[in-house]
Amino acid sequence: MRNTYDTQLLFELSQPNRRAARFPACDVPVRPAEELLPSSAVTSIPPALPELSEPEVVRHFVNLSTRNMSVDTHYYPLGSCTMKYNPKRNERGAALPGFLHLHPLQPDATIQGMLRMLYELQGYLSEIGGLSACSLQPAAGAHGELTALLVAAAYFRDRQEHRTKVLIPDNAHGTNPASAAMSGFSAVTVQTHANGLVNMHDLAEKIDEDVAVFMMTNPNTCGVFEPEIRAIADLVHQQGGLIYLDGANMNAILGIARPGDSGADMMHYNPHKTFSGPHGGGGPGAGPICVTEQLGSYLPVPVVAREGDRFYLDYQRPKSIGRVRSFFGNTGVLVRAYAYIRTHGPDGLKQVAQNAVLNANYLLAQIKNILPVPQGDRCMHEFVATAAELKRTRNVSAMDIAKRLLDYGFHAPTVYFPLTVQEAMMIEPTETESKEMLDAFAHTLAVIVEEDPELLHHAPHTTPVSRPDEVKAARQPILAY
Ligand SMILES: *Cc1c(COP(=O)(O)O)cnc(C)c1O
């Protein structure tokens, strides 16, 4: 049983003059601030900082940390997000002093190790994606989308082609249309079939010489590999457009299929998903992009380059769209991705994809006896179940099930996405879970759908906070204390 002490803020716990550290008396003459600084910069009111002992601060933060679910504490089948286990060796790699303590303004000659790591990572990502040019700068997947669309815009500007539209399937991640709008294009929706695949008739109707880019996710957000990928690419290329591949689902095809080989011109990676790396809660990610050779000259500066044994930052790229991120990007996440790729090697990466697909299909085979899975019999690394029938017959929603799972110690799947499936529950088991865990999850789901609807409407019953008012939280957030 938690006491109210835990829920108080550090400011509320504060007691005058309580300290976490004691400093020896100052042994040099002390001069008043007014003598050292202009009076406008000096305040007579001390800052309102909380005054606490060290154990109080430690308990406060450690207790808060146990109120959340995480990949390290719970099974986390959050579809699309690929919440797989992050090997601790990657953390150790990122924390090596030679990476951690660099200053981004150090001369190239003193950061050769970092530059070599980044250079090699550019090469690995190009090889895995089948696209020869790479930029590590974007700070997240969404930022990679935006950067690539700016690259596409620069490419068409250079060719003096005025193209205004970006086509996006209706089941795409919300970042796709947002990136299109932010980069100055208008987003046009392309219909998909019930199984999540692109409606080729609708695409053929909407593709014309105004279309700059077709953005697609493959495997798509229903966890199905697009069999028409080549035909789609041909259709778009015939009209002079480019194919953008949202690479969030790369963990399903690593070492097996390369987007560049099936016609993609640009793609992003989410290293924090595909190559392991802490994410969620707004933590740092990265969004490297790879593009074809003809688009390479428009990539952001600097690109990490090599001349003989020397690695350097190449700014001499006159067609570049410029910078999209300070310094070299989120290098901590990139070191983790590098460590992950090097640890597995080509065969290991292929096995990652095979296990992701095997785990998802094993779980699908069990879940479809509990909740319908509209797109059928096989999936890639994730699948979308629906609680629509349960909602009709017993008034139990996807949200009720998601909330109840928390009581059983499982993080919920992604719910209500993609929007094309009613009462959607998007389940991605990931490759790092055991058979026992997948069995336990399926068993728990089977128990929940039989439970009293009233119990489910008020779940979770065991978490520190039950059901916040999500509409109010989104519309009227209280962000200041
Ligand atoms: C996660 C995700 C994104 C956005 O990536 P971030 O790194 O969160 O910005 C884009 N598309 C899909 C399909 C995703 O799953």
Is the shortest distance between the CB of 175 and ligand 1 below 6 Å?
Answer: yes
Q: What is the pLDDT of residues 308-345, one digit of tens each?
A: 999 999 999 999 999 999 988 999 999 999 999 999 99
φ, ψ of residue 340 to 5 degrees: the values are -65, -45
- Collapsing DSSP to helix, strand or coil, 266 comes out as strand
Q: What is the pLDDT of residues 294-311, one digit of tens each?
A: 999 999 999 999 999 999
Which residue stretches of 66-132 are H helix? 88-94, 97-100, 112-129
Amino acid 194: pLDDT = 81
Q: What is the pLDDT of residues 178-220, one digit of tens each?
A: 999 999 999 999 999 987 899 999 999 999 999 999 999 999 9
Q: What is the pLDDT of residues 19-59, one digit of tens each?
A: 998 889 999 998 888 899 998 899 888 888 999 999 999 99
Is residue 84 within 8 Å of 330, Cβ to Cβ? no
Is residue 320 within 8 Å of 300, Cβ to Cβ? yes
Confidence of residue 282 (pLDDT cuts 50, 70, 90): low
Amino acid 328: pLDDT = 86
Nearest to 218 by CA among 198, 238, 190, 241: 198
- Residue 196 CA to residue 169 CA, distance in Å, equals 9
- Write the DSSP symbol of residue 175: H
Nearest to 336 by CA among 99, 112, 110: 99
Q: Whose CA is nearest to atom 6 of ligand 1?
A: 141
Which residue type occupies 80? S
Amino acid 461: pLDDT = 97
- Residue 429 CA to residue 424 CA, distance in Å, equals 16
Q: Which atom of ligand 1 is nearest to the CA of 145?
A: 10
Is the shortest distance between the CB of 140 and ligand 1 below 6 Å?
Answer: yes
Q: Which atom of ligand 1 is nearest to the CA of 286?
A: 7
Ligand 1 pocket: which of 147, 270, 276, 325 to mutate (most atoms within 8 A of CB): 270
For residues 110-138, average pLDDT: 97
Amino acid 1: pLDDT = 43
* Helices 331-367 & 435-448 angle (0-180, nearest 10): 60
Q: What is the pLDDT of residues 49-96, one digit of tens each?
A: 999 999 999 999 988 888 889 999 999 999 999 999 999 999 999 999
Q: Whose CA is nearest to atom 2 of ligand 1?
A: 248
Is residue 409 within 8 Å of 448, Cβ to Cβ? no
- Ordered by where they begin, the domains of the chain are 4-61 (no CATH), 90-343 (3.40.640.10), 346-475 (3.90.1150.10)
Residue 127, pLDDT above cutoff 90: yes
Amino acid 2: pLDDT = 47
* Helices 398-407 & 435-448 angle (0-180, nearest 10): 120
For residues 400-404, average pLDDT: 98
For residues 134-140, average pLDDT: 97
Q: Whose CA is nearest to atom 3 of ligand 1?
A: 141
Amino acid 6: pLDDT = 59
What are the angstrom distances between the C-alpha of 389 and each of 375, 397, 422, 435?
A: 15, 9, 9, 28
Burial of 110 (0-12, 13-18, 19+ CB in 10 A): exposed
What value does the mean pLDDT of the chain take? Answer: 94
Residue 118, pLDDT above cutoff 80: yes
Query: Roughly how many angstroms between the first and final C-alpha of the chain, as a whole number?
Result: 26
